[in-house]
Amino acid sequence: MKDVSNSILRSKWRGWSTPSPPVPVELEVVAAAFVLLQEARHEADYDNSKIWFSSDVLGLIADTREAFENWTAIRINPAANEYLLSLLIGIKRE
C-alpha cells in the first residue's frame, strides 16, 4: 500500500485501465497522507524514544481530516477507484 501511494507521489503510478486515468491533485493528497500516517504509526509503535507532543498529534489529525475531505471529493473518480484496486492488488506490472 505504501509502495502504491509512493508511486502516485513520484508520478510513476499507472492505473489498471488503458490509458491510465489522470491522477487528480486530491488523490495525491490522500496518497501523501497515507504514507505520512503509516510512518507515524510505525514510529509510535516501535520507537520508544520518540516523544509525541500534542502539536505533532494535532498536525497528524489535521492531515487525516484533509485526506478524508479530498477522498470525499474524488471517491467516484476513475483514478480513485483504480487506486483502491492497486492498494488491494499492488502496483501494475508490465
C-alpha cell at 57: 498529534
Stretch 41-55: mean pLDDT: 93
Stretch 4-27: mean pLDDT: 89
Q: What is the pTM of this model?
A: 0.87
Q: Give the tens place of pLDDT for each residue, 58-77.
A: 999 999 999 999 999 999 99
d(CA 77, CA 1): 19
Percent of the chain with pLDDT over 90: 80
**pLDDT surpassing 70 at residue 93:** no
Q: What is the 3-state secondary structure (H, E, C) of the chain?
A: CHHHHHHHHCCCCCCCCCCCCCCCHHHHHHHHHHHHHHHHHHHHHHCCCCCCCHHHHHHHHHHHHHHHHHHHHHCCCHHHHHHHHHHHHCCCCC
